Structure formats: C-alpha cells, structure tokens
Amino acid sequence: MLKPVQPTRRNFLVGAGRFAAASALASAVPFPVAAEAGGGRIASSALKDLAGAVTGGIVLPDDPFFGDYARPNNLRFRTLPTAIARCTSDADVQACVAWVRKHGARFAVRSGGHNYAGFSTTPGLLIDMTPMSSIAALPGGDGLVKVGGGALNGMVYQALERVNRTITHGRCTTVGAAGFLLGGGIGFNMRMFGMGSDLLQATSIVTADGALHADVQDGGADRDLFWACRGGAGGNFGINTSFTLRTFPVETVTFFDVTWTTDVDEVLYTLLTRLAEAPPEFGSKISVTSPPRGSGSQQLTVSILGQLHKCSTTVEAIIGPVLERASKTTIKPDMPYWPAQDLLSEFTYPYFYQEKSSYMKAADITPAAVAGMVRLARRMPGTCMANSFKFFQVGGKVNATPADATAYVHRGYDWLFSSEVNWWDRKDPKALVDENLAWQEQFYASVNTATRAAGAFQNFPDPSLKDWSAAYYGGNYAKLRRVKTAYDKADLFTYRQGIKPL
C-alpha cells in the first residue's frame, strides 16, 4: 500500500500559513468580481463566508506565505490574487465553485503553477489544490493508483518508487500532476506506455453546477466527460480532485546523456531521422542550445538525454556512428529505474519564458531543413540566459492510439518540437526581449514550413498562438465543445484559450 508523502519542513510551513490568514479575515478586503457582476467589490463578509465553508482555510495578502503560494513558475504572469482558497477535500472544492457562482467572482485553479501562459493566475480567487496530495494504491493488486488533484509530480514519483512501479511521467518534480495528465503528459516512457493521459482509468471532477462526478470512466454515464479529461487540458470542464492511473513494474534502464559541439547540422539531422526507428523502449529528448548573450561564445551544442528500458539492442547501436564524434558521452547501463530518474530530473526555479511547439514526422525532415534551423539559431539575438530548441521523441505506443480515442489528438508523429526564449527582467531590457520574441516567431514559422510541422502541445500553451483551438485539439475540438456545453454551458470555467461552449 502506498503511503502519503511525509510532511517536510516546506509543506509544514505552507500549511501553517492558513492560521495567520484566519486573523486577517476580520479586515475589510476588496475583492474584484467579473464584469457582468457590475465591476463592484465583494464585502469582507462574503470572504468570511467562504472561509467558513473551506476547511483548508483562506490565505490573504498579509499572510507571510501568500507570495509563495501565489507565485507562478513563469514570472511573466505575476498577477497576485485577492485571496487563496486552500482546498483539502472535495467538499472544499464544491464550496469554492458555489461561492464563485454566487458572487460572479473571477478565479483560477492551480496545482503546480507551471502553466506556460499564466492561465493558472488570477486577480480574483486562486483555488489552490496542493493540500489534496494524497497518493494511494487501490486494492485488487492490479497496479492502480489514485492520485489527489493537488499532488505534485515529485510526490507521485516518491510514492511509486516505494513499490518500484512507474507511469509516463515528466522530469520536473514541481509540476502539478493534474495539469500534466489533463493536457496529455509527455515523458521518456511515453513510447513504451503511451501518453500520461492514456494511462488514466478514472477521474473525479467537480463541474460548474457544483456536483461531484466521482470516478468517471470510459463506458460510464459521464464517458464523454472522461474522454475530454484525457487531453482536453485543465480549467475547461471543472476541477479534477483525483486521478486513477494504471502503473507498470520497472527494473533497470540505461541512462544516457551525450553532447556534440561540432558538425551540428549533420549530427542533428542524423539523430532526428535515425532515432525515429528506435524501439519503443527508447525515450529521448534532443536539445540544440545557444549560450547566454555576452558569454564570449556563439557555439551551438547538440545534446541527447534519455533512457533505454531492457530490450534486444543498446544505446550505442541506436545512436550509431555519430556517437564517435561526441564531445561528452555518459552512458550508464543497468541502473535501477528510480535512481536513473534522479539523473534525468530537473528542477526549474521561477523565471521568464515563452515557448512555442509543433509536431513533426521524421520523413519530412531534410538536411536543408535542419541546416535552416541551425542557421537561424545562430542569428538569435540572445539573452542573459541559455536558450534552446528541443525535440521530444514521440511515436511508439503514443501513435498506437487513434486520434479520436481520447481528447489528445496528436498521434502519428515522431517528434514534438519546441522553441524556447528565456530571460530575466533585471538583466534583459524589454527591447532586447521583444527582439528575441520576434526572432522566435520567425524561427517557429520557418521551421514549421520547412518540416511541414503541425499542431501545438496543449500542455505548452502559447499565448501568442492565433488559431489555438485547431493547433491544440485538431478534429477533436468540435466534440470538446459539445462536452463543454453539456457540463458548463454558461462558461464558468473560462480563460483566454479555454474551450468554448456551443
């Protein structure tokens, strides 16, 4: 049986913050409301009513931990909420939904706060799910695990490590499991097991009418809602309070981390075309990185990071002859699975960034297209931080699922391409940031044209994307709108790139 993650000093202090907030409720706190409510302010008495209904407590701006709770991972979207509701149960979530409906209040829902476009920020009520972080194995011995709607990825990994099982998971431990799963969920295991959302067996969700739909699943009365939760992205249909996932036993893997500093064009082309034929046990991410502006170097590097589960071949055979030209090679065979994940994981501190994504087929990638990528990358103005464009390897089991079987539509590709621009506001002037963002738009358009890339990953939301509904959801958007209409016709759960009712 999986046990909940033991409290650390960090989550003890976070929990303690609500007690400081309780005394602050006595003061009158202006609360912004939706325009249709008249643009007025909600009295402190209304906020006290919410505090009385939410057992996890309400945190106000004078709480010493308010800034920690409110801070998003992407600092471009540092909108501070008026209050934060710390939900500890389904009933708390229902109370929040009833309250925002009654008062017409603006709100957002957050688990990890890593939404690239800031859609988990609000000037109104921030519904904080992180206290709902329990993780438990379900009885029956079939490897099913129920994860709370506020659990962070790192908590899930710790719990699974105790029983030596795994799922398709990402690398960043501070990402919320809810956002990860609802938008698809990528990771080094996806070619072997499928997308994270493909492993979802059931989910509980509080919808716009305040009803709790417990453990909705395929074939049930809410089967269309379950379909939509497997790739329809968070914040569209309600607040998911738990997820039941299929897990897999693990043994050992080969960890690899290889870097090239010469022949960048040729190495990148070889990897992008050769690795598409790799077995599904092979999972990788390729990065082409440019150094920080002013570092004294303009050298691009190509690197590949990933793992190989046990199979009939080796990392050396899969990567092939270009491995001999690598400037740095680390290959560690027969590592226990979870210690290997420690080498693969990353921890990202909050900073400023913009990311754009699309999907590619290896057959459409030509030497000329790769040469064009590299040429444009060398012309990037640059910032005080390193920047890169990346290729997450899809295919395998991801493509074995039909595009309309779940809301996650991006099947039939070999690579998920992503271009990132990173910066720090105190070191990079706005004019320079704007110059880099303009370069990124040109680079993205050029790469997409040259490789016939299409779509965009809904877990990498791009606030500058114009035709976002087609890019994120393709032919599944029409059904997603029907589901939205059935469960949230008044569009209570709304944001700039949210699915719209009919």
Half-sphere exposure of 100 (CA within 13 A, CB side): 29
Instruction: Give 458 or 29, the one with higher predicted confidence.
Output: 458
- The pLDDT of 259-277, averaged and rounded, is 97
User: What's the pLDDT at 393?
Assistant: 98
The DSSP element (H or E) to which 85 belongs, if any, is strand 83-86
pLDDT higher than threshold 70 for residue 40: no
Given 92, 114, 129, the domain boundary residue is 129
Given 113, 129, 145, the domain boundary residue is 129
Whole-number percent of the chain with pLDDT over 70? 91
The answer to the question of residue 279 being in a domain is yes
Structural domain tally of the chain? 3
Joined tokens for residue 104: 């017409």
User: What's the pLDDT at 348?
Assistant: 83
Q: Are residues 258 and 242 in the same domain?
A: no
- The CA dihedral of 320, 322, 327, 328, to the nearest 10 degrees, is -20
Q: Are residues 462 and 479 in the same domain?
A: no
48-76 residue pLDDT tens: 999 999 999 999 999 999 999 999 999 99
- The pLDDT of 488-494, averaged and rounded, is 98
Measured CA angle at 381 (ends 378, 385), to 5 deg? 95
The answer to the question of residue 41 being in a domain is no
The answer to the question of residue 360 being in a domain is yes
Mean pLDDT score across all residues of the chain: 92
CB 329 within 8 A of CB 246: no
Q: Are residues 413 and 293 in the same domain?
A: yes
User: Looking only at Cα atoms, what is the longest distance across the chain?
Assistant: 70
Q: DSSP for 257-283, please give it.
A: EEEE-S-HHHHHHHHHHHGGGS-TTEE
pLDDT higher than threshold 70 for residue 167: yes
Tell me how far apart the alpha carbons of residues 116 and 118 are, in angstroms, rounded to a whole number.
Answer: 6
Joined tokens for residue 65: 């931990």
CATH number for position 282? 3.40.462.20
Closest CA to 212 of 38, 96, 303, 291: 96
> What are the respective helix, strand and coil percentages of the chain, to the nearest 5?
35, 25, 40
Whole-number percent of the chain with pLDDT over 90? 88
Joined tokens for residue 181: 């799963």
**For residues 37-76, b (16+ Cβ closer than 10 Å) or e, as one string?**
eeeeebebebbebbbebbebbbbbeebebbeebbebbbbb
Tell me which of 43-47, 127-131, 246-250, 392-396 is least confident: 43-47
Residue type (1 letter), 163: V
CATH number for position 238? 3.30.465.10
The answer to the question of residue 424 being in a domain is yes
The answer to the question of residue 179 being in a domain is yes
Tokens 């957050």 map to which residue? 110
Mention every residue, 6+ apart, whose C-beta is less than 8 A from residue 474: 403, 409, 410, 455
What domain range is 198 assigned to? 135-249+474-488
CB 135 within 8 A of CB 2: yes
199-202 contacts at long range (C-beta below 8 A, 24 or more positions apart): 199/167, 199/168, 199/245, 199/246, 199/247, 200/226, 200/229, 200/230, 200/243, 200/244, 200/245, 201/144, 201/244, 201/245, 201/246, 202/226, 202/243, 202/244
Q: What is the dihedral sign for C-alpha 336, 342, 343, 346? A: positive
User: What's the pLDDT at 42?
Assistant: 66
In this prediction, residue 45 has a pLDDT band, given cuts at 50, 70 and 90, of: confident
User: What's the pLDDT at 297?
Assistant: 80
Q: Are residues 429 and 482 in the same domain?
A: no
Q: Are residues 139 and 283 in the same domain?
A: no
In this prediction, residue 121 has a pLDDT band, given cuts at 50, 70 and 90, of: very high
pLDDT higher than threshold 80 for residue 26: no
Q: Are residues 71 and 160 in the same domain?
A: no
The three state secondary structure string of 435-481 is HHHHHHHHHHHHHHHHHCCECCCCCCCCCCCCCHHHHHHHHHHHHHH
pLDDT higher than threshold 70 for residue 197: yes
415-448 residue pLDDT tens: 999 999 999 999 999 999 999 999 999 999 999 9
CATH number for position 60? 3.30.43.10
The answer to the question of residue 9 being in a domain is no
Q: Are residues 241 and 336 in the same domain?
A: no
Mention every residue, 6+ apart, whose C-beta is less than 8 A from residue 113: 71, 72, 73, 120, 176
Q: Are residues 170 and 295 in the same domain?
A: no
If DSSP codes are grouped into helix, strand and coil, which group holds residue 3? coil
Residue type (1 letter), 83: A
Given 69, 98, 129, the domain boundary residue is 129
The answer to the question of residue 185 being in a domain is yes
Tell me which of 13-17, 162-166, 375-379, 491-495 is least confident: 13-17
Q: Are residues 107 and 241 in the same domain?
A: no
Tell me how far apart the alpha carbons of residues 110 and 219 are, in angstroms, rounded to a whole number.
Answer: 29
User: What's the pLDDT at 36?
Assistant: 28
In this prediction, residue 296 has a pLDDT band, given cuts at 50, 70 and 90, of: confident
Q: Are residues 192 and 154 in the same domain?
A: yes
Closest CA to 191 of 98, 300, 281: 281
If DSSP codes are grouped into helix, strand and coil, which group holds residue 15? helix
User: What's the pLDDT at 6?
Assistant: 37
337-395 residue pLDDT tens: 999 999 999 988 999 999 999 999 999 999 999 999 999 999 999 999 999 999 999 99
The answer to the question of residue 379 being in a domain is yes
pLDDT higher than threshold 90 for residue 1: no
Q: Are residues 379 and 305 in the same domain?
A: yes
Tell me how far apart the alpha carbons of residues 109 and 178 are, in angstroms, rounded to a whole number.
Answer: 11
Q: Are residues 400 and 418 in the same domain?
A: yes
Listed in sequence order, the DSSP H helices in 81-188 are 90-103, 153-162, 177-182
